[in-house]
A = this chain, B = another copy of it.
Amino acid sequence: MRVVVVGGGAAGITAARTARELGAEVTLITEDDRVAYSPCAIPFVLSGEIEDADSIVMRDPEYYERLGINLRLETRVEEVDPEEGIVETEDETFEFDAAVLAVGGEPLIPPIEGSDLDGVLTVRWFSDIERLERAVQSAERAVVVGAGPIGVEMAHALRSRGLEVTLVEMLDRVLPQLLDGDTAAELQEVMEKEGVRVLLGDPVERIEGDESVEAVVVGGEEIEADLVVMAAGVRPRTELFEAMGASVTPFGVEVDPALRVKSEDGGVMEGVYAAGDCVADWCPITGETVPSQLGTVAVRQGRIAGRNAVEGPKITWPGTLNTAVVCAFGLEAAGCGLTEARAEEVGMEVVSATVSTTTRARYYPGGEEITVKLIADAYTHRIVGAQAVGGERVRERVDAIALAIRLGAKVEDLLSWDYSYSPPVARVVEPFYEAAERLREELKG
């Protein structure tokens, strides 16, 4: 069984390792000069929280060689022929019985005048770290474009390195995919207290400068800047898929539940799997195609694709609730499923409850503020989303609700929740339980 994996990110290496563990002969081809660093760690390297940048590279190439994986670094795949079972690079041809294409994504650079100036940087590649680090050392004023997870975490990193920071988001709130206005306001308040200027509701008009960036124009205002961080999202890399005749959407290549690549004619390409940021995912609540560019999804899809590549299409991917957590400014901000805003866009009538409390018993020192929000379909009573922002113990709370959504939980089910309690780690009433109690009164039908 010969498996060729294209892409050395989290999805690719996980697929390669899984296929190898199941006994396949595995070749892993990547354009990068190292295997699987963690892109989500870059803001924390810049902030100084992670001291050694090299530590974010998961393993040495030798590790993969010891596993018996045939590794090709700095190698570009020119063509994949699914019919013939061939992957072509400039110098070599690899035959495969199954392939896993995990080619990832790249930073989305909005078509803005001046986005090619010196000092306009992205946060994606390992080599970005050195560029960003150099810029941070000389820059005084930064503009971060986009208030998604990377944008917020970079705003924190740059602020903690002493720069003047403006965060620009064209939608009306920070973390607009993850949070609604009320929970986003909790984060924004702390960001502003920490000295970040947050500009919402206007896109960047242009970036000004001679060779290097000098200013960013937003809503008619010229904001001086000697560093611009582009954090406007990730574009899935779909060129290889297009050339293969696969069905490609703006969110990535389409796959069936076994992660087999779909072809333009509606069929599937037997033996050809895709995983990670290049895949168009789907929301299990609405069935809609959604982007999913999370490390967790990459790893979980990599395991499935690697196994299915060896054993045939057996294990299926269940879509994604895009559960994510952002760590910045001493807060965790997390969300899953549909925001209230998104639910309304898809025509769902929802009810929501937002509860603000603290994370420890009133009388136990050190408690932090936490705000949680629970969103449910008003008529079916199904929980469709959860959000939380707070100083501690945030992530796992949202994860619990994400699991409950998977299990089809209704608001009423949360009232049977046997959560635990001890004064140093909780109040006697769990905030998401409290939210469910409040929601119960508002349910319809």
> Which residues of A are at the interface with B, using a C-beta cutoff of 8 A?
10, 38, 40-41, 44, 49-52, 55-56, 149, 294-296, 299, 303, 318, 320-327, 332, 334, 336, 361-365, 393, 395-400, 402-404, 406-409, 413-414, 416-426, 428-430, 437
Contact = CB atoms under 8 A, between A and B. Distances in A.
A420 B38 contact: no
Report, nearest first, the 6 A-B pairs whose CB atoms are least far apart: A396-B396, A400-B400, A55-B363, A407-B407, A325-B420, A318-B416
Most buried by B among A51, A395, A413: A395
Contacts of A403: 400, 403-404, 409, 414, 417-419
A279 B332 CA distance: 39
Contacts of A395: 393, 396, 420, 422, 425-426
A184 to B, nearest CB: 17
Contacts of A362: 55
A420 B49 contact: no
Taking the full assembly, how many copies of this chain does it contain? 2
Given A327-B423, A393-B396, A399-B420, 19 more contacts: A38-B423, A40-B423, A41-B361, A49-B424, A52-B363, A294-B421, A295-B428, A323-B419, A323-B420, A324-B420, A325-B420, A393-B393, A396-B397, A398-B420, A399-B430, A402-B419, A402-B420, A404-B407, A406-B417
A11 to B, nearest CB: 11
A418 B323 contact: yes
A299 B320 CA distance: 35
Contacts of A364: 41, 44, 49-50
Contacts of A332: 422, 425
Contacts of A430: 399
Given A295-B428, A400-B400, A417-B402, A423 B10 contact: no
Contacts of A418: 296, 320-323, 336, 402-403, 406
Given A326-B422, A396-B396, A425-B332, A38 B417 contact: no
Nearest to A58: B362
B422 A325 contact: yes
12 contacts: A40-B422, A41-B363, A52-B363, A56-B363, A296-B421, A299-B429, A336-B420, A395-B426, A397-B399, A398-B420, A399-B420, A402-B419
A10 B428 contact: yes
A365 B400 contact: no
Contacts of A426: 325, 395
Contacts of A55: 362-363
A425 B327 contact: yes
A269 B324 CA distance: 50
B296 A428 contact: yes
Given A396-B396, A428-B10, A423 B50 contact: yes
Nearest to A334: B420
A16 to B, nearest CB: 16
A361 B57 CA distance: 11
A327 B423 CA distance: 9
A296 B419 contact: yes
Contacts of A406: 413, 416-418
A326 B296 CA distance: 30
Contact of A413 (B38, B295, B400, B407): B407
A399 B400 contact: yes
Contacts of A318: 416
A93 to B, nearest CB: 33
A82 B55 CA distance: 70
B420 A299 contact: no
A395 B56 CA distance: 28
Most chain B CB within 10 A, of A51, A336, A413, A416, is at A416
A50 B407 contact: no
